[in-house]
Structure 1
């Protein structure tokens, strides 16, 4: 984690939200409430009005490392000691190194809360599923509900972790030659669905209550769900295209690799082998695996459009790591297949670390370029020898894309703050907001 994201400890890269928090803290917290994130606002009170990006990046990296350790612990509890603990190396190799996290970590002043939120999701499920005390189970449920008011993506992440717990229960029964009845499986799935729906509904009620108390209008669902707002075929095509991107990414794709497809192919081989050996619970294992594989598409299906890439974290990297853990546990007795899997993990760990560090370096250089551009604009204005130039309104025409050779464009990562907005007026307002954080003050255009 520190090797991949350590560069964030030594630069003051700004995101679009960083400037809003610096210049309009209360207003931006209300914006988070309006998009259904009162839990994020509640956690933000821990560092209220604090915008030291160096310290917050340090906290984010520390808690992200803790989240990775907690995920290892959750897997260890869920597998019932039926595996070699050395297999846990897969999680820190695949989960935190994913390029997808670079998109989320672009939002500097949310990273600490995001990393802490991952920890809270895992802790809530440990309390619900692995601590027999009912008070802890209730606490876990309430904690899970709270995390869903932070980021909607935590809901999908929690679903994946619960399904993995069910998967390992089925596999443990198979190893002991125990057949799980349809009634027992339906009970497990029913409990999962009840927990997921009840926590989601309660979290939405909490979000609605926060909006009511703070007198904030909802703005989250306006552009998030497009079913019925455009031709049906467009939504279907978006789902198909995104599924294709996940399973068959193009060569050189910045954020996706063939690892997901490799996992699917290996799982097919596992299921065929189980069926050939006439193992028990194969059908239920297949259904559970299918549920895990579908979770990365959940937002696409619900919204009827391609989701933001950052919406795939922390779930998609967790899916890859957990599936590889399951495959490794199943084939661990086979010397050849085990070492083949080790090679696959090492290869894709290297690819992910390389791509993620490149993305972080790209963002660093883009931020440096933005700072130099702001200085150049200011120097040019002052060189005109205008009396009190700060009293003038500043309008910038067009935009400016990054020109450094290391720039890699993502949805937000590597995008200059001088090109973030769709037209000159918005670009000017955005740029002026950015410049004000450095004390370079000019009046907004009207």
Structure 2
């Protein structure tokens, strides 16, 4: 059964096979963190394939931005659920993660066996420059289509300033934007959005009620925690049980993505549990930044090291793989809990004026969030060294500043070339990524020689 969620292009409904193929490709090419991944899904699903309207995509994104955990994977799950129900959500959510998970486990094995990951920098050098161009394009496109009023433009600007200059907590910024939109709509002031488009729900979807929602929530929580029973039944080492318990708790508080929890995880893993040596978390982050998929896959690197070193009786590599998979399960399965239990309620409230006002303001804040992520990502792609400057220490006011002498001219050229291919030549995303990756790899070979 096909399902269309684009009122402007009702003939664009995909088959289930097409959904699988497209999300397999997105999962394999989703470099650049949440900004790049959201931009890639928008370009593929809204612009190129036209499976969803702009309004449906942003409605789903707004909800995912309010949740703990990897918002890009949650968005992929939500879109799959919209198109093909639970089976679509499971497939799209898994395909978004599995390619990167397989790669990070392989790289983690290479890291612990050979203790050298520097060769990876050249392999993905060009991809980062191309992804930066895709992120810039996403910010411009979303800004033009969503910031239609002065109020929304002010919300986007305020969100950017709060994140980039003051480093305020991500959930605080999003909730503040939603509250502002709610109050503006309630007061009958300036309209925050032209209206919410009507559309079909997912195939076979039933009107949500309290009993159904609770049953869905309980079922997926049991699925999420099922490894506990497996670990007990097979007499797994205590280190693996502690690992799964710790990251299950982390999955419920990881607002704002990977960078919101990496410092805490590094501290606990090094100081409290002794799982990692100082500096190894940075090595894991470098691996995760060069692979597709959510950046929180770096947590599977931690799991691999714990299993490799402490899962006695399983063999180092086997223990490492099990540890990495346990962390991935604890981290990503909650996304299915949040979507399958919460999305039906969110869809039912699409026509609610007050909710629409709040979510449209969150959309504007998301533009500021993605702009902040784009600048952060751009600084680290184009410059070898970036430092944080505190302007008013007591007020917490500061910003990231590049060391201009560390500008990477090759990265700059690749970014400029990728931008020309996207904005001027109008090439597709895959050709741009392929050309930039090949050029970057060749450039690294020349430099090494």
TM over 0.5: same fold? no
TM-score after normalising by structure 2: 0.33
TM-score after normalising by structure 1: 0.33
Higher relative contact order (CA 8 A, sep 6+): 2
